[in-house]
Homo-oligomer: A and B are copies of this chain.
Amino acid sequence: MHGQAAHSGERGSFACAAGVRGEVALEHLFQGSALNAVDAKGRVSVPAFLRSVIERRGDARTIVLAKHSQFACLDAYDPAYAALKHAKLERLLEKGETEPDAELAYQQRNLMAFAATEETPYDSSGRIVFPPMMRRKGGIEDLALFLGTGETFQIWNPQTLLGDKNIPEDLKDIARYRLEERGVTP
């Protein structure tokens, strides 16, 4: 258990390669993987190394959950990132404005980005209670696989990930390792 929570450490404040055309830069990125249990009450520990990033980005002890736009998993991030995401959408709109469906696409994305999300706080021990709707959308059962992806992190049902054709084999190896580490081989 405990994945590799430890390695996260508390420091790691590194300068970010920023300055991409006025974009807000993220100084701290989500990285690493862990497999945690979902208990009978629907509680899960958010891995400590992810929490440390959240708390460095802002002072919230909260995560935002959304269905991932492409994968059968959940996308998660901190509240501060939500604002950033909004700015990104704006920029996308400006870029593709010439295209006919641009406005519609923008509205749709905006809905997805904000209406279709749930914000959940984690307690002093770092656990959230999984909102039932999100839990279902992510197909999460009794194990939650956390994957850092830089700006955000993903939460998977490990079995779903293993069955996804679009996931690189090297990444599946990691999922298998985490399962094995926990004694779930079948």
Residues of A within 8 A of B (CB): 4, 6-9, 11-18, 20, 23-24, 29-33, 49, 58-62, 64, 67, 70-71, 78-80, 82-84, 86-91, 94-95, 103-104, 107-108, 110-121, 129, 131-133, 136-137, 147-151, 154, 166-168, 170-171, 173-174, 177-178, 181
- The quantity of this chain's copies bound in the complex is 2
Q: How far is the CA of A60 from the CA of B70 in the complex (A)?
A: 34
Min distance, Cβ A66 to any Cβ of chain B, angstroms: 10
Contact A12 B121 (CB under 8 A): yes
- A80: which B residues are within 8 A, CB to CB? 14-17
Provide the main secondary structure of the chain A interface.
mixed
Contact B33 A115 (CB under 8 A): yes
A177 interface neighbour in B15, B111, B133, Cβ under 8 Å: B133
